[in-house]
Amino acid sequence: MLEHEIKIPASPAKSYRTEIGSGLLGGLWPRIEADFNGYNKFVVTDENLVSAGHLEKLLGQSDAPAFVISPPGEASKNIDTAVTIIETMEKACLGRDTLVVALGGGTVGDIAGFAAAVFKRGVPVIQIPTTTVAQADSAVGGKTGIDSSLSKNAFGAFWHPSAVYIDVATLTTLDDRQFRAGLVESFKHALIADSEYFEYLENNLDAVLERKSEVLEKVAQFNCKIKGDVVETDPYEQNKRRILNYGHTIGHAVETASGFELLHGEAVAIGIIAAGMIEIELKIAPKDRLERVRQILEKLDVPVKLPPNLAEKDLIDLIKHDKKAVNKWPRFVLLNDIGQVYCPDGQYAVDVAPEILGRVLKIL
């Protein structure tokens, strides 16, 4: 037998800038043209971004092509939309020298990022996030994906953006429920990484809810730093990146069991409370810490209790099918304290006995 080994060098290190400001959108296009000189630009957005005037503000006088996803939201995050985007780019004779510009929430970012990752084996994408979820979470980190008819993010790729531009002024047109639910991801960041950030959110929640730009900029800055640090350490979710899953194992089950009546952030808020209750059961965190978290989530006006129509057994079944489960039981990210993940023996996610989870779900 003859053998020949082919060594593939590790992909070159990549870094990207996140720029944060209020009213950035207005003067952004000429800068994108200059920074990505030589690329044909192809914008992906959705109908609500068009009606809120954000696409017009971004493009100004430019006649760059824009694909407008319709209907907006999760219903369009599927392979049909990705195929239509790719075929639209082909019909416009775009090639590997294309820059995809994603303007919108997590749905737009995930679809556009996925299309960029697979179009002609991959073209660069820049993210311009416009929701509290996308600005805190999805725009940074490089996860892209679309849903199958059976599950969320069934297709996906790690495809890091080439730049992220966060204009907090875009949040002023976001629906109140979406705005509040998305902020739960910011609380999650504070909880897993930074007690000072948590205090900042506690002290400035009214200004956040009034959408004061200087406070939203500061929040975006904390989020980018925390998520960026985690992603730098573990870009492909081998270990530490799991901490971003805090509150999500139970949160995902609650979201699914609610038939997606609850928004993702609302379900994660319940998941964060559940994680806090598990921490008390395991005696790894003090009770008053959970109360502090509960108070702030209540002030945010997101749910902190299971809706009465959700059966504990259904939730346990869903948790068994969690995509990160091994032997039909997932491991949980827990905290010792605010800003401090419980990490025995270097493990960021730990086993929790089903009886403990059962007890918590009964009183949640």
Ligand X SMILES: NC(=O)c1ccc[n+]([C@@H]2O[C@H](COP(=O)([O-])OP(=O)(O)OC[C@H]3O[C@@H](n4cnc5c(N)ncnc54)[C@H](O)[C@@H]3O)[C@@H](O)[C@H]2O)c1
330 lines the binding site for ligand X (CB under 6 A): no
Residue in 174, 257, 333, 349 binding ligand X, rule: CB under 6 A: 174
Q: Is 178 in the site for ligand X (CB under 6 A)?
A: yes
Work out how close the CB of 72 gets to ligand X at its nearest, in angstroms, rounded to a whole number. 3
> What separation in angstroms does the CA of 345 have from each of 146, 254, 342, 349?
35, 30, 10, 10
72 scored as a contact of ligand X (CB under 6 A) = yes
**Closer to ligand X by Cβ: residue 55 or 361:** 55
In this chain, which of 143, 218, 248, 331 binds ligand X, going by CB under 6 A?
Answer: 143
Of 98 and 178, the one with the shorter C-beta distance to ligand X is 178
107 binds ligand X (CB under 6 A): yes
User: Residue 7: left if φ>0, alpha if ψ -120 to 50, beta else—which one?
Assistant: beta
As a whole number of angstroms, the distance between CA 80 and CA 5 comes to 39
Q: Is 24 in the site for ligand X (CB under 6 A)?
A: no
- Of residues 171 and 293, the one with the C-beta less far from ligand X: 171
Nearer to ligand X, 77 or 277 (CB): 77
Q: Tell me how far apart the alpha carbons of residues 4 and 361 are, in angstroms, rounded to a whole number.
A: 56
Is the CB of residue 145 less than 8 Å from the CB of residue 153? Answer: yes
CB of 74 to ligand X, least distance (A): 5
Q: Kindly state the smallest distance separating residue 2's Cβ from ligand X, in Å.
A: 44
Nearer to ligand X, 101 or 364 (CB): 101
| DSSP H/E element including 132 | helix 132-133
Binding-site member from 18, 127, 162, 170 for ligand X (CB under 6 A): 170
With binding defined as CB under 6 A, does residue 241 bind ligand X? Answer: no
In whole angstroms, give the CA distance from residue 331 to residue 325. Answer: 7
Question: Judged by CB under 6 A, which of 29, 86, 106, 357 binds ligand X?
Answer: 106
SS3 145: strand
Distance in Å, CB of 212 to ligand X, minimum? 16
Q: Residue 291 carries which side chain, given as an amino acid letter?
A: E
List the one residue from 25, 29, 101, 110 that touches ligand X (CB under 6 A).
Answer: 110
Please answer whether residues 266 and 361 qualify as being in contact, where contact means their C-beta atoms are separated by less than 8 angstroms. Answer: no
Residue of 28, 42, 67, 77 interacting with ligand X (CB under 6 A): 77
DSSP string, 287-350: HHHHHHHHHHHHHTT---S--TT--HHHHHHHHHT-TT-BTTB--B--EEETTEE--GGG-SSB
Counting contacts by CB under 6 A, is residue 141 touching ligand X?
Answer: yes
Q: Which of 131, 209, 208, 212 is nearest to 173 (CA)?
A: 131
**Distance (Å, whole) CA 309 – CA 325:** 25
Q: Does 297 bind ligand X (CB under 6 A)?
A: no
CA 104 from chain centre, in angstroms, equals 13
Interaction of residue 248 with ligand X, rule CB under 6 A: no
For position 266 contacting ligand X by CB under 6 A, the verdict is no
- Closer to ligand X by CB, 44 or 352: give it: 44
Q: Which is nearer to ligand X, 55 or 296 (CB)?
A: 55
- Residue 251 binds ligand X (CB under 6 A): no
CA distances from 337 to 173, 191, 242, 276, 360 (A): 35, 8, 17, 10, 19
Do the bridges between strand 17-21 and strand 163-167 make them parallel or antiparallel, or are there none, so unpaired?
A: parallel
Stretch that binds ligand X, among 98-106, 202-210, 278-286, 290-298 (CB under 6 A): 98-106
Residues lying near ligand X in the complex (CB under 6 A) are found at 46, 48-49, 52, 72-74, 77, 104-108, 110, 130-131, 133-134, 137-138, 141, 143, 152, 170-171, 173-174, 178, 182
